[in-house]
Chain A
Amino acid sequence: MKKEKFNIIKDSCIPLPLENIDTDQIVPARFLKATTREGFGENLFRDWRFDEQGNKIESFVLNDPTYSGQILVAGKNFGSGSSREHAAWAIADYGFRVVVSSFFADIHKNNELNNFVLPVVVTEQFLKELFDSIYANPRTEVIVNLPEQTITNTATGKSETFEINAYKKHCLMNGLDDIDFLLSNKDKIESWEAAR
């Protein structure tokens, strides 16, 4: 897995205004059989992107050349359902660095963070306006500033701040993962066990 350090991203977006997009849609179970983390981008939104014969479904947004960018903008409750991290691997492997929604499911949100994809929670109003901006001009750019924890819709000039805990922010900005951190605390683990 690439641990690409995260700072400020300015790019256009791909809109997916459906609610409750579950991880079975992000990557269907029959593609979970790999034993490595690579190549899942091919199967991102597989059954919405391709028909049963493997032909592209032209109407699906990922097949529409009008829209491009490293920022996925999705409806409320993104990533519900299965804990499969393969969903986050597929999003990252496809080339997304940011997912914007008004609400994320917990496990999937952690999985994105652990794969250096930033989930940005915005208000319903910001999300609605962002969809409107993208549909009015598919080149609309969004600026996601992790150090400042802000997101800006450049079409409207409106900004919001978003939440992320300081530890995870530090990890994303410096390309660090949790195993390194946990193992550096081994003495604490052993003393907890001894005190039990």
Chain B
Amino acid sequence: MNTLFDKIWDSHIVHKVEDGPTQLYIDRLYCHEVTSPQAFDDLRSRGIKCLRPDKIYCMPDHNIPTKDQDKPIEEPVSRHQVETLTRNAHEFGLTHFGMKHPKNGIIHVVGPELGLTLPGMTIVCGDSHTSTHGAMGAVAFGIGTSEVGMVLASQCILQQKPKSMRINVEGTLGKGVTAKDVALYIISQMTTSGATGYFVEYAGSAIRSMSMESRLTLCNLSIEMGARGGMVAPDEVTFEYIKGREYAPKGEEWDKAVAYWKTLPSDADAIFDKEITFQAADIEPRVTYGTNPGMGIGITESVPAVETMPEAGQASYIKSLEYMGFSAGEKLEGHPIDYVFIGSCTNGRIEDFRAFAEIVKGHKKAENVVAWIVPGSWSVYRQIEEEGIADTLTAAGFELRQPGCSACLAMNEDKIPAGKYAISTSNRNFEGRQGQGARTILASPYVAAAAAITGKITDPRKFL
């Protein structure tokens, strides 16, 4: 009567500290340039090496520019951070896919697409969106830099076992409704702290019908309701996705792996600490109106009234609407926008660019809109070119940029100016997330595409 989560967690316990945390073995550590330098210093200051360097993969993604990656990074502090990762990977003997390397990209896009992320694994990274990898049937979660140091040194981490939650989504998703809309809907129902302390398994017919990439989008956003992680039981969709990928098991090893993966789904009598069911039919294309991902509505709905918020939260709610320049009761459809960003570890995969192109094909980019089209990896970039999506984009007046985290958190030069509205397929609409004073509206690639060609918030179903 074990859950998917229990099976993986329990099989990775090295040691239980009395009246304390569990020492958990980690199969895969991913490192990027922002949250790793101090962890490598921790090892240097102790004079120790990585215990299991073959289980660690490094790549820069947060700082790198989305143009001219063949040239050195202009901004000296960003350049230093990226170079520090290169040096650390070399010194500690770790695999490193540097800027412009054909395997470089956003770590949460690259891991699954190379087959480095596999079902049954424990995976960590100094990045909250590590929850993405859970879509493959792995236990994957974000950690702090001190914890990165623990894993570099010992291939283990100390963690309290989280509680378990199953979220079922039943039924068929409507036209123009994507995994992003499902996630934003769930987060708005749960609030940004509603799953804190829990590890979530997504289940139900709507999830089973999702492609692997859609599941990655869904699990990516688990952290936005506070969950330690999110996961989907591996099935034929998962196996089909993994088969043949570069680092995936091959031949006999493949058969053995699949046989093991098939044992992972939660047992029929598994008990969860909490279980919630949503109906796919209740979900429409969505947008956010506030400054956390839980503040979202269906595209045809209005911004909720202040009085509908709990009293202790009203001050934050008012501050949030002021920041966004929206009023309670206002409908957002038709509101002009200035920027469109498609990309990030949330929606930077090929399926997302196909969706974007499906809508912009035969149209022109609105003149008032600046659009940043940023693939999640070089592999996605190459596929965009090979499938002719790049031509569709060019014909519609869009420019394809080079891969990286880009405007999702604006650590490179892709910053939304103060006061400007951006429809963004990324994961966070926090104050200043995309640039000081920037106003972010989170949405799916369909909604982003409809906004990019009309210059305003538009229901994408009109174009589908």
By a beta-carbon cutoff of 8 Å, the part of chain A in contact with chain B is 17-20, 22, 24-25, 28-30, 32-37, 47, 52, 75-77, 80-86, 88, 103-107, 110-111, 114-115, 124, 128, 165-168, 177-179, 181-183, 185-186, 188-189, 192-193
Contacts and interface: CB of A to CB of B under 8 A. Distances in A.
B19 A165 contact: yes
B316 A82 contact: no
Contacts of B42: 179
A47 B15 contact: no
A112 B124 CA distance: 18
Interface in B303-332: 312-313, 315-316, 319
B431 A111 contact: no
Interface string B232-262: 0000000000000000000000000000000
Nearest to A168: B20
A84 B35 contact: yes
Interface stretch (B139-147, B355-363, B377-385): B139-147
Given A25-B431, A77-B226, A85-B146, A20 B292 contact: yes
B355 to A, nearest CB: 26
A82 to B, nearest CB: 5
28 contacts: A19-B313, A29-B409, A29-B433, A32-B62, A35-B37, A35-B41, A35-B80, A76-B312, A77-B192, A83-B127, A84-B35, A85-B35, A105-B193, A106-B162, A106-B197, A107-B142, A111-B145, A111-B146, A165-B160, A166-B19, A178-B150, A179-B46, A179-B153, A181-B158, A185-B154, A186-B51, A189-B25, A193-B25
A84 B430 CA distance: 14
A192 to B, nearest CB: 5
B431 to A, nearest CB: 6
Nearest to A177: B146
Contacts of A192: 14, 25
Contact of B292 (A22, A34, A103, A183): A22
Interface string B28-52: 0000001101100110001010010
Interface of B: 14-15, 17-21, 23, 25, 34-35, 37-38, 41-42, 46, 48, 51, 62-63, 77-78, 80-81, 84, 126-128, 130, 142-147, 149-150, 153-156, 158, 160, 162, 192-193, 196-197, 223-224, 226, 228, 292, 312-313, 315-316, 319, 409-411, 418, 428, 430-433, 436-437
A179 B292 contact: no
Given A24-B433, A103-B196, A33 B144 contact: no
Contact of A20 (B38, B192, B410): B192
Nearest to B146: A114
B312 A183 contact: no
A178 B145 CA distance: 12
Contacts of B418: 52
B312 A33 contact: no
Contacts of B63: 33
B436 A47 contact: yes
B153 A183 contact: yes
Nearest to B159: A110
A9 to B, nearest CB: 22
Contacts of B35: 83-85
Nearest to A77: B193
Given A33-B81, A165-B21, 10 more contacts: A24-B409, A76-B312, A77-B196, A83-B126, A85-B126, A114-B147, A178-B158, A189-B25, A192-B14, A192-B25
Contacts of B193: 20, 76-77, 80, 103, 105
The 7 A-B residue pairs with the shortest CB-CB distance, nearest first, are A167-B20, A35-B37, A85-B144, A111-B144, A182-B154, A114-B146, A166-B19
Given A20-B193, A47-B432, A106 B156 contact: no
A24 B431 contact: yes
B84 A35 contact: yes
A181 B46 CA distance: 13
Contacts of A168: 20-21
A6 to B, nearest CB: 16
B312 A32 contact: no
A182 B20 contact: no
Contact of B77 (A33, A36, A186, A193): A33
A124 B436 CA distance: 32
A118 to B, nearest CB: 15
Contact of B21 (A22, A33, A167): A167
A179 B150 contact: yes
Contacts of A183: 48, 153-154
Contacts of A75: 312-313, 316
Contact of B19 (A33, A103, A167, A177): A167
A25 B291 CA distance: 11
Residue among A18, A47, A81 facing the most chain B CB atoms (10 A cut-off): A81
B410 A106 contact: no
B149 A179 contact: yes
Contacts of A188: 14-15, 23
A182 B316 contact: no
Contacts of A81: 128, 223-224, 428, 430
Contact of B411 (A29, A83, A107, A186): A29
A160 B115 CA distance: 49
A193 B37 CA distance: 27
B410 A29 contact: yes
Nearest to B198: A106
